[in-house]
Amino acid sequence: MELAQGCACNHLHPIEERLARLLLTVSEGLQSEDFPLTQEFIAQMLGVQRSGVTVAASTLSRAGMIRYHLGQINILNREDL
């Protein structure tokens, strides 16, 4: 069921929303608000180009939801994300 939902999500939602979902999923799995993820890995997970991840991460960062620097993600506002 989760796989089918993930596939549908990848086609229907913008990359910012898909990135937010991925970050929350990773955060829950690691039980941490801080974790390493490279743009290359995120791009592969979302099935997009690395440049798309750069733009999406910048959008979430400017909105105050995350901090992203040198492959380190910090979730700043889980509720908004």
Q: pLDDT tier at 1 (50, 70, 90 boundaries)?
A: confident
Residue 12, pLDDT score: 77
* Position 8 pLDDT exceeds 80: no
Contacts of 27 (CB under 8 A, 6+ apart): 33, 35, 75, 78
- Domain region containing 60: 2-75
**Alpha carbon of 44 to those of 23, 39, 62, 64: distances in Å?**
14, 9, 23, 24
The residue type found at 47 is G
Residue 3, pLDDT score: 67
Dihedral of alpha carbons 38, 26, 47, 53, sign: negative
Residue 80 in domain: no
Domains in the chain, number: 1
The string of pLDDT tens digits covering residues 17-68 is 999 999 999 999 999 999 999 999 999 999 899 999 999 999 999 999 999 9
34 forms bridges with which residues in the sheet? 74
pTM summary value: 0.86
Give the CATH number, domain containing residue 43.
1.10.10.10
- Residue 67 token pair: 């901090």
Residue 60 in domain: yes
